[in-house]
């Protein structure tokens, strides 16, 4: 298996990594996993990136009956974005 690596530049670097945390809604509370997306240019405002990630998260989870738990922007410190609505 190939080794994949994500580098975060924390000294004011331009491209944060976003993490979408998903739960599979299993009968015992489900299992959660993360999908990470990076390299979104800083020319795209954070609120537009957040809306796009929300749409992506829903498209990824709805057909499977999963749910999005959180969308987080990872920079020097992690900043939770608006919580998705329960559906």
List the end-to-end C-alpha distance of the chain, in Å, as a whole number: 36
pLDDT, residue 16, reads 73
Model pLDDT for residues 10-60, shown as the tens digit of each residue: 444 556 788 899 999 999 989 999 998 887 877 888 788 889 999 999 998
Model pLDDT for residues 54-83, shown as the tens digit of each residue: 999 999 899 999 999 998 877 655 566 666
pLDDT, residue 67, reads 92
CA–CA distance, 24 with 28 (Å, rounded to integer)? 10
CA–CA distance, 3 with 37 (Å, rounded to integer)? 17
0.85 exceeded by pTM = no
CA–CA distance, 9 with 25 (Å, rounded to integer)? 34
pLDDT tops 80 at residue 7: no
Q: Which residue has the higher pLDDT, 53 or 8?
A: 53
């Amino acid at each position: 298996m190939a080794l994949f690596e994500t580098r975060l530049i924390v000294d004011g670097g331009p491209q944060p990594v976003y993490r979408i945390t998903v739960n599979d809604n299993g009968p015992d509370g489900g299992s959660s996993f993360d999908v990470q997306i990076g390299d979104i240019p800083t020319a795209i405002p954070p609120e537009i990136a957040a809306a796009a990630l929300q749409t992506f998260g829903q498209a990824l989870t709805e057909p499977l009956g999963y749910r999005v738990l959180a969308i987080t922007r990872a920079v020097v410190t992690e900043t939770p974005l608006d919580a998705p609505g329960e559906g």
